[in-house]
């Protein structure tokens, strides 16, 4: 089995996949913290009280040693800007499925945005850890929008997995190295 990226230093790009409450964000944060800290690139928007509480819980758990950049749509440009600024800190991009939802609601070109993200990940001169929900293990949604999201998320995960050096699947808080 491949080693997890934290087992011998964080390098390249790592995709951390898992279901809801699987421990993927905490694991991804631990990778960045083990490398000495970094930048948290957050895609969530606080559209309701539940999401506000979730964002606050994530911030509290991380503590103050992180630089946080909130970018719900143009994450590729943010990564490119950080690279252009000469930044070397590892980046945690959390999370791709919220980013996808934001793109869908904005009517963005998802294929183009994904291609731009793949390019930015491959070009990043610093380690990048991405987090995404694995949506393929549950029931098929009964709405057209739900099915469209599930299908797009599956394709997004496949593409980012191909662009990543490491892929970790989180199950019940246990990391399983896939790549």
The whole-angstrom separation of Cα 35 and Cα 58 is: 19
The whole-angstrom separation of Cα 112 and Cα 60 is: 34
The whole-angstrom separation of Cα 158 and Cα 44 is: 21
The whole-angstrom separation of Cα 8 and Cα 118 is: 24
Active site residues: 58
- Going by C-alpha positions, the residue among 133, 125, 64, 152 that lies closest to residue 94 is 133
b vs e for 134-158, b when ≥16 Cβ sit within 10 Å of the residue's Cβ?
bbeeeeeeeeeeeeebbebbeebbe
Contact 150, 122 (CB under 8 A): no
């Amino acid at each position: 089995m491949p080693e997890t990226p934290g087992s011998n230093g964080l390098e390249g790009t790592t995709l951390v996949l898992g279901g809801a409450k699987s421990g993927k964000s905490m694991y991804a944060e631990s990778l960045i913290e083990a490398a000495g800290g970094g930048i948290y690139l957050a895609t969530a928007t606080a559209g309701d009280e539940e999401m506000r509480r979730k964002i606050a819980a994530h911030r509290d758990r991380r503590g103050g040693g992180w630089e946080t950049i909130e970018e719900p749509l143009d994450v590729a440009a943010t990564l490119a800007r950080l690279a252009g600024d000469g930044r070397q800190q590892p980046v945690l991009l959390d999370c791709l499925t919220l980013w996808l939802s934001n793109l869908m609601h904005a009517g963005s070109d998802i294929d183009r945005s994904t291609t731009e993200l793949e390019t930015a990940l491959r070009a990043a001169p610093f380690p990048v850890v991405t987090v995404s929900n694995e949506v393929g293990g549950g029931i098929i949604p009964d709405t057209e929008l739900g099915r469209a999201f599930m299908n797009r998320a599956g394709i997004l995960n496949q593409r980012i997995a191909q662009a990543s050096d490491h892929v970790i699947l989180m199950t019940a808080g246990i990391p399983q190295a896939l790549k």
